[in-house]
A and B are shown apart, each in its own frame.
Chain A
Amino acid sequence: MRIMLTSGPAPALAAHGISFAYGRETVLDRVDLQVHAGEFAALVGPNGSGKSTLLRILLGLLTPTSGRVEIFGSAPTELRERWRVGYVPQRPRIAPDLPATVEEVVAAGRLPKQGWWRRRHAADRAAIDHAIESVALAGQRKQRLNELSGGQQQRALIAKALVAEPRLLVLDEPIAGVDVESQRLFRDSLVHLVREHDTAILLVSHELGAVADDLDHVLVLKRSIVFDGPPADLTATGVSLGVHQADLPLWLEELT
Chain B
Amino acid sequence: MMHVTHVVGALTLPGMPWPLPWPFDRSYMQLALVAGVIVGATAPLIGVFIVQKGMSLMGDGIGHVAVAGIGASLLMGTSPTWTALVVAIAAALLIEFLRSRGNATGDLALALVFYGGIAAGVVLASRSATNTNLQPYLFGSILTATANDVWTIVALGAGIAVAMAIAGRALFAVVLDEDSARVAGIPARALNALLAVLTAVTVVAAMRIVGVLLVAALMVLPVATSRMLARSFRGTLVLAVVVGVVSAVLGLVAARTWALAAGGAIVLVTAALFALASIVAGARRAGAQADSILSGPH
Residue numbers of A with Cβ under 8 A of B are: 56, 59-61, 79, 82-83, 85, 87, 89, 93-95, 97-101, 103-105, 107-109, 111-112, 116-117, 142, 144, 160-161, 164
Interface contact B177-A93, CB-CB below 8 Å = yes
Contact residues on B (Cβ < 8 Å of other chain), bracket: 20 to 34
- Residues of A with C-beta under 8 A to B179: 56, 59, 61, 87, 89, 93
Mind listing 30 A-B residue pairs with CB under 8 Å?
A60-B182, A60-B183, A82-B183, A82-B185, A83-B184, A85-B183, A87-B180, A87-B183, A89-B179, A98-B176, A98-B233, A99-B227, A99-B231, A100-B232, A103-B232, A104-B232, A105-B176, A107-B169, A108-B169, A108-B173, A108-B176, A109-B184, A111-B184, A111-B186, A112-B186, A116-B167, A116-B169, A144-B231, A161-B180, A164-B184
- Residues of A with C-beta under 8 A to B172: 100, 104, 108
Interface string of B256-283 (1 = CB under 8 A from A): 0000000000000000000000000000
A97-B234 Cα distance, complex, nearest whole Å: 15
Interface contact A100-B169, CB-CB below 8 Å = no
Interface contact B233-A112, CB-CB below 8 Å = no
Which residues of B in the span 135-175 have a Cβ within 8 Å of any Cβ on A? 166-167, 169-170, 172-173, 175
A82-B186 Cα distance, complex, nearest whole Å: 9
Interface contact B176-A100, CB-CB below 8 Å = yes
Interface contact B175-A98, CB-CB below 8 Å = yes
Interface contact A95-B52, CB-CB below 8 Å = yes
Q: Given contacts A89-B177, A111-B173, A116-B169, is CB(A100)–CB(B184) below 8 Å?
A: no
Interface class of chain B by DSSP: helix
A56-B230 Cα distance, complex, nearest whole Å: 34
- Residues of B with C-beta under 8 A to A93: 177, 179
- Residues of A with C-beta under 8 A to B235: 99
B247 within 8 A of A: no
CB of A109, distance to nearest CB on chain B (Å)? 7
A164-B186 Cα distance, complex, nearest whole Å: 13
Interface string of B180-218 (1 = CB under 8 A from A): 111111110000000000000000000000000000000
Interface contact A99-B183, CB-CB below 8 Å = no
Interface contact B236-A99, CB-CB below 8 Å = yes
- Residues of B with C-beta under 8 A to A103: 232
* Residue on B nearest A76 in the bound complex, by CB: B183
A144-B186 Cα distance, complex, nearest whole Å: 24
CB of A72, distance to nearest CB on chain B (Å)? 13
CB of A204, distance to nearest CB on chain B (Å)? 13
Instruction: Point out which of A87, A142, A161 has the most chain B C-beta atoms below 10 A from its C-beta.
Output: A87
CB of A182, distance to nearest CB on chain B (Å)? 18
A60-B179 Cα distance, complex, nearest whole Å: 10
CB of A228, distance to nearest CB on chain B (Å)? 24
* Residue on A nearest B167 in the bound complex, by CB: A117
Interface contact A111-B232, CB-CB below 8 Å = no
A144-B230 Cα distance, complex, nearest whole Å: 10
A-B contacts besides A109-B173, A117-B170, 17 pairs, CB < 8 Å: A56-B179, A89-B180, A93-B179, A94-B177, A95-B177, A98-B52, A98-B176, A99-B227, A101-B231, A101-B233, A104-B172, A108-B172, A111-B173, A116-B167, A116-B170, A116-B173, A116-B186
- Residues of B with C-beta under 8 A to A144: 231-232
